[in-house]
């Protein structure tokens, strides 16, 4: 019997068979040549046959895929059919005596580099070439092709991590759960799993100790995987399966605790398409509009007119409702060529987000002009907030810019410990605060949230992080002049828009700490609403106190889950 633990990123309990995703294809040695006794022409012919086999495999998978996955597989299949890669590789075998595997590898580099030099759409195809190259090399070696296994029966997928191209072809009807040895709570894999509602654990470093085909129980609420599958585990899995057949619903109106206390349940979005999905899910508004997605992949700043149109398209989905707009959060893992310094030695602690306005103020003021214009053209209620605030001077400066444009209310993101512990002064200078638990956790724990090796530290259940959430709420009540205020009656409301808000158990804790609103991926709304409905505000406060007083993140989670039997009943 063995049990391995990682970081839970998307809840759910399943019993199933492990299937391991093939590791990345290793580069053939530069000295690898045509085997002794083999004619170069015969070796070169292997390339064409392998390329044809790869094309057939990809075409078959594309025929059975849908949406973005189908488009990606079709594009990759077309690249495998393109003779340029095979022709270049065969030439290297015949003229330089390289093995078929090495020739394909070098030819892939040449073709990809050529496409990158062309720029635009052609440059984007370079990744497809390298994907096809890896598949052909795997075929030549007789290895499993990279990517998610193409199997008929459902399975639990284990992997080192998943690339974006892998996740695009992931079929939730086939993959019961995801468990990776690398990655962190903010990795692409974790974000995708939450969007799909797929049970997932990351940073389970020893998961590959389980042999392919092993039956295991995955508890993605606690972050554990065990091969000792019991009758109780099967009951938990059956409860989760039943929840998938009869999913919870949320009709809006906020999360209502069993004593009638209401908590706004909002959605995190990045564009108008996300806004449409959030509105369809009956979100009570938007708690985080990530405006930087309009700026990414651009060499120059979008015009005020372009921004106004984009914001208007979002606002139109929420007439009469709150839309919390985060101003541009550039820097760190979201660099922008016209705004941030690519040479910063530590960009996560550098000139990012609001701080970029210190030297390039017009980018922020242009954005605020666009938000104000969109607000006037629609019936939404825009709330504007600045990310990466550290001092009261930062807050006062941002609020002044908002007031000049009639943007009210104006608030701040609490992502730094300094903002949390001075929340009374920060909130005295602005109208509201929204806690970004992703960054607050990494700065509190001094752990880069992009590093899988630090995933156990980058956990919003850390008592130190919860204590700072509590400090923020206490400071807001002090600044508002009413220590007992809560919900829509709070003069200085505090929301949470980090991923922590979508964890049903942690949502109870956050409300118990004094948070007024929770913002999450729309898929999480029903489960959070259901779990909140089972507790009173006093019970939430008791569970929150236990979590803050716990000696570790795991102990905090265990104490809270023990007090929320509904999680087990739902298979969460």
Question: Mind listing the domains of the chain with CATH numbers?
Answer: 3-21+148-245 (3.50.30.10), 40-141 (1.10.274.10), 255-519+536-570 (3.20.20.60)
Q: What is the pLDDT of residue 265?
A: 97
Q: For residue 340, name the pLDDT band (cuts at 50, 70, 90).
A: low
Confidence category of residue 331, pLDDT binned at 50, 70, 90: low
User: Quick one: what percent of the chain has pLDDT higher than 70?
Assistant: 92
Residue 312 has what pLDDT?
97
Catalytic residue among 402, 430, 473, 497: 497
Q: What is the model's pLDDT at position 182?
A: 87
Least confident of 159-168, 337-346, 436-445: 337-346
Going by C-alpha positions, the residue among 420, 426, 410 that lies closest to residue 371 is 410
Q: Do the Cβ atoms of 497 and 469 come closer than 8 Å?
A: no
What pLDDT score was predicted for residue 255? 95
User: Band of the pLDDT at 67, cuts 50, 70, 90?
Assistant: low
Which pLDDT score is estimated for 179? 95
489 falls in which pLDDT band (50, 70, 90)? low
What confidence score (pLDDT) does residue 399 get? Answer: 97
pLDDT tier, 187 (very low <50, low <70, confident <90, very high otherwise): confident
- Strand segments, DSSP code E, in 234-350 are 255-256, 262-269, 285-290, 322-326
Average pLDDT over residues 329-338: 66
Q: What is the pLDDT of residue 22?
A: 81
Q: What is the mean pLDDT of residues 356-368?
A: 88
- For residue 74, what pLDDT band results from cuts at 50, 70 and 90? confident
Residue 132: pLDDT band with limits 50, 70, 90: confident
The CA-atom distances, in angstroms, between 134 and each of 55, 95, 100 are: 13, 22, 12
The H-assigned helical ranges of 184-230 are 188-196
DSSP lists the bridge partners of residue 351 as none
Give the chain's mean pLDDT.
Answer: 88
- Does the active-site annotation cover 188? yes
In the residue annotation, 497 being an active-site residue is answered as yes
Cα separation of 458 and 121, whole Å?
37
Cα separation of 345 and 348, whole Å?
9
Which of 64, 188, 233, 430 is an active site residue? 188
> Cβ contacts of residue 339 below 8 Å, gap of 6+?
295, 301, 328, 330, 331, 356, 360, 363
* The pLDDT value given to residue 333: 60
Please state the rounded mean pLDDT for residues 82-101: 88
User: Is 90 exceeded by the pLDDT of residue 301?
Assistant: no
**Which residues on neighbouring strands pair with residue 218, listed in sequence order?**
14, 225
Place 148 in a pLDDT band, splitting at 50, 70 and 90.
confident
306 has a pLDDT exceeding 70: yes
pTM: 0.80
* Residue 31: CB atoms within 10 Å: 8
541 CB-side CA count, 13 A: 7
Tens-digit pLDDT profile for residues 433-464: 999 998 999 999 998 877 778 888 988 999 99
At 120 the pLDDT is: 62
Q: Which helix (H) or strand (E) holds 48?
A: helix 40-63
Angstrom distance (rounded) from CA 528 to CA 533: 9
Residue 363 above 80 pLDDT?
A: yes
| pLDDT for res 372 | 97
pLDDT of amino acid 369: 97
């Amino acid at each position: 019997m063995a049990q391995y633990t990682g970081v839970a990123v998307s809840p759910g309990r399943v019993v199933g068979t492990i299937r391991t995703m093939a590791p990345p294809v290793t580069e053939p040695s530069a000295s690898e040549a045509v085997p002794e006794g083999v004619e170069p022409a015969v070796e070169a012919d292997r390339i064409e046959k392998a390329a044809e086999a790869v094309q057939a495999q990809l075409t078959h998978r594309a025929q059975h895929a849908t949406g973005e996955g189908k488009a990606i597989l079709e594009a990759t299949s077309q690249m495998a059919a393109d003779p340029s890669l095979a022709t270049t590789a065969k030439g290297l075998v015949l003229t330089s005596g390289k093995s078929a595997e090495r020739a394909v590898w070098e030819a892939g580099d040449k073709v990809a580099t050529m496409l990158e030099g062309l720029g635009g759409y052609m440059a984007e195809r370079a990744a497809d070439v390298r994907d096809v190259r890896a598949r052909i090399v795997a075929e030549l070696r007789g290895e499993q092709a990279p990517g998610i296994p193409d199997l008929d029966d459902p399975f639990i997928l284990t992997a080192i991590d998943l690339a974006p191209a892998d996740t695009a072809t992931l079929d939730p009807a086939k993959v019961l759960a995801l468990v990776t040895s690398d990655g962190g709570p903010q990795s692409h894999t974790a974000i995708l799993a939450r969007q799909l509602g797929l049970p997932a654990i990351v940073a389970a470093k020893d998961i590959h100790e389980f042999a392919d085909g092993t039956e295991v129980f995955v508890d993605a609420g606690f972050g554990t995987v065990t091969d000792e599958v019991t009758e109780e585990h099967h009951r938990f899995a059956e409860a989760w399966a039943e929840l998938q057949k009869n999913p919870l619903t949320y009709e809006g109106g906020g999360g209502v605790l069993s004593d009638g206390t209401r908590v706004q349940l909002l959605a995190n979005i990045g564009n108008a398409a996300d806004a449409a999905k959030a509105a369809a899910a009956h979100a009570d508004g938007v708690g985080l509009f990530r405006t930087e997605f309009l700026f990414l992949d651009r060499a120059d700043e979008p015009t005020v007119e372009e921004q106004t149109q984009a914001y208007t398209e979002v606002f139109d989905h929420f007439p009469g409702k709150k839309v919390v707009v985060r101003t541009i959060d550039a820097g760190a893992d979201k660099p922008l060529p016209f705004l941030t310094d690519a040479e910063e030695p530590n960009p996560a602690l550098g000139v990012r987000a609001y701080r970029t306005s210190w030297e390039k103020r017009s980018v922020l003021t242009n954005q605020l002009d666009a938000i104000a214009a969109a607000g006037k053209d629609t019936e939404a209620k825009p709330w504007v907030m600045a990310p990466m605030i550290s001092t009261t001077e930062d807050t006062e400066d941002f609020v002044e810019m908002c007031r000049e444009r009639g943007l009210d209310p104006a608030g701040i993101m609490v992502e730094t410990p300094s903002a949390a512990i001075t929340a009374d002064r920060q909130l005295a200078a602005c109208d509201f605060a929204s806690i970004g638990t992703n960054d607050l956790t990494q700065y509190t724990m001094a752990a880069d949230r992009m590093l899988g090796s630090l995933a156990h530290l980058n956990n919003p259940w850390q008592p130190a992080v919860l204590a700072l959430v509590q400090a923020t709420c206490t400071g807001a009540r002090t600044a508002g002049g009413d220590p007992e205020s809560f919900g829509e009656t709070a003069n200085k409301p505090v929301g949470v828009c980090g991923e922590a808000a979508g964890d049903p158990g942690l949502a109870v804790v956050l409300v118990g700490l004094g948070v007024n609103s929770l913002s999450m991926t729309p898929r999480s709304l029903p489960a959070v609403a259901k779990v909140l409905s089972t507790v009173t505000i006093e019970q939430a406060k008791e569970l929150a106190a236990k979590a803050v007083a716990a000696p570790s993140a795991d102990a905090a989670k265990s104490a809270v889950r023990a007090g929320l039997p509904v999680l087990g009943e739902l298979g969460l």
